């Protein structure tokens, strides 16, 4: 079997809380991504999705967060043992990231061309003329019209959707093996969102790039993910192929997330909501972290953390996933 491009094993990321000690914001998280594959990471805000991705690319907030355990194997090498300098060499070259808010990711006082040229020259030798030529070709590839004109413009002259295309083009300049897309379209309106997601999917197929796609929306990952990891309160709730997760979800949290997607093919009066909120990291419940919001919680759920129930390469962290079949959602 070929080695996965990225394999994360038992990752633990701790946050330092000033005088109040430390908490594990990402706890025992494991997953892998093969070459050319898309992994969708889903969960509400505060579930540890962005911290997990930041640990992979070596961009955890300095002083406040650090990798406290586990391994991040990229092309067989453990990134947790790399120096900051070695990680700078990998970032933007073999692993790139596009961020949630494209408007704040570009420097407002430099033209697009200057910013793309710098991004390119950070990793490879190219004359100014060559760099602009490569940048224009990449802007064309991501569907921006009049790329030579765009290169002469400042960020404020472009729309949100155009800026996000520029960010994608910049991330792909070095033809990275892995692209991390953190809520790449959530700040854009729905039509542009759909266009950006279609573009990412087309580029993945064309360039063979693997994608780690982060979203709070199951509907977004349903379009393009080969595998899905559902996270809740810093832990994996469920992990498997997209086919398994969407057709046979076993974890109550996954089922609730799926119930909250509007389905044009189904006549549903009310979408499912999930009562309550993700608990703060300093007040995690004992046992299963989802138990304060789970309609099926039983005494066992407070006593012990659920071990994984595995079937068909699908792992579910719920005490009842393999035994008592959970009935239809209670709708709360």
Paired tokens of 247:
């057709």
Q: Cβ of 214: how many Cβ atoms within 10 Å?
A: 25
Q: By C-beta, is 146 or 330 nearer to ligand SF4?
A: 330
Binder of ligand SF4 out of 306, 309, 314, 315 (CB under 6 A): 306
* C-alpha to C-alpha distance for 114 and 118, rounded to whole angstroms: 6
Q: By C-beta, is 203 or 294 nearer to ligand SF4?
A: 294
Alpha carbon distances (Å) from 210 to 179, 200, 203, 315: 6, 11, 10, 22
- Least distance to ligand SF4, CB of residue 272, Å: 15
Q: By C-beta, is 102 or 249 nearer to ligand SF4?
A: 249
Check residue 288 for interaction with ligand SF4 (CB under 6 A): yes
Give the x/- contact pattern for ligand SF4 in 208-247, rule: CB under 6 A: ----------------------------------------
Q: Which stretch binds ligand SF4 (CB under 6 A): 100-108, 119-127, 161-169, 295-303?
A: 295-303
Check residue 284 for interaction with ligand SF4 (CB under 6 A): no
Q: Cβ neighbours of residue 90 under 8 Å, at least 6 residues apart?
A: 58, 74, 79, 82
- How many residues of this chain interact with ligand SF4, rule: CB under 6 A? 13
- Least distance to ligand SF4, CB of residue 290, Å: 5
* C-alpha to C-alpha distance for 33 and 39, rounded to whole angstroms: 6
* C-alpha to C-alpha distance for 128 and 265, rounded to whole angstroms: 52
Tokens 């790449």 — which residue? Answer: 184
Check residue 291 for interaction with ligand SF4 (CB under 6 A): yes
Q: Which stretch binds ligand SF4 (CB under 6 A): 102-110, 185-193, 241-249, 287-295?
A: 287-295
Sign of the alpha-carbon torsion through 240, 241, 242, 244: negative
* C-alpha to C-alpha distance for 311 and 322, rounded to whole angstroms: 9
Q: Which residues bind ligand SF4 (CB under 6 A)?
A: 251-252, 288, 290-291, 294, 296-297, 301, 306, 318-320
């Amino acid at each position: 079997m070929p080695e996965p491009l990225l394999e994360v094993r038992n990752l633990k990321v701790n946050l330092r809380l000033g005088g109040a000690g430390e908490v594990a914001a990402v706890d025992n998280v494991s997953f892998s991504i093969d070459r050319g594959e898309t992994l969708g990471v889903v969960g509400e805000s505060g579930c540890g999705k962005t911290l997990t991705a930041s640990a992979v690319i070596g961009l955890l907030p300095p002083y406040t967060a650090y990798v406290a355990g586990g391994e991040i194997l990229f092309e067989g090498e453990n990134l947790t043992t790399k120096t900051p300098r070695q990680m700078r060499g990998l970032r933007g070259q073999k692993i790139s990231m596009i961020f949630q808010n494209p408007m704040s990711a570009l420097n407002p006082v430099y033209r697009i061309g200057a910013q793309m040229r710098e991004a390119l020259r950070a990793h490879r030798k190219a004359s100014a003329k060559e760099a602009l030529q490569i940048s224009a070709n990449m802007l064309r590839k991501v569907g921006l019209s009049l790329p030579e004109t765009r290169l002469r413009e400042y960020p404020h002259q472009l729309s949100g959707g155009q800026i996000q295309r520029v960010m994608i083009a910049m991330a792909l300049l070095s033809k990275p093996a892995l692209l991390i897309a953190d809520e790449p379209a959530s700040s854009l309106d729905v039509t542009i969102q759909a266009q950006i997601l279609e573009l990412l999917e087309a580029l993945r197929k064309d360039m063979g790039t693997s994608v780690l796609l982060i979203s709070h929306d199951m509907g977004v990952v349903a379009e393009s993910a080969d595998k899905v990891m559902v996270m809740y309160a810093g832990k994996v709730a469920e992990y498997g192929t997209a086919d398994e997760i969407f057709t046979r979800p076993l974890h109550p949290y996954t089922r609730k997330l799926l119930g909250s997607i509007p389905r044009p093919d189904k006549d549903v009066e009310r979408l499912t909501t999930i009562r309550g909120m993700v608990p703060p990291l300093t007040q995690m419940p004992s046992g299963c972290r989802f138990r304060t919001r789970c309609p099926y919680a039983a005494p066992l759920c407070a006593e012990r953390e659920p071990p994984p129930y595995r079937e068909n390469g699908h792992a579910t962290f719920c005490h009842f996933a393999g035994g008592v079949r959970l009935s239809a959602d209670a709708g709360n």
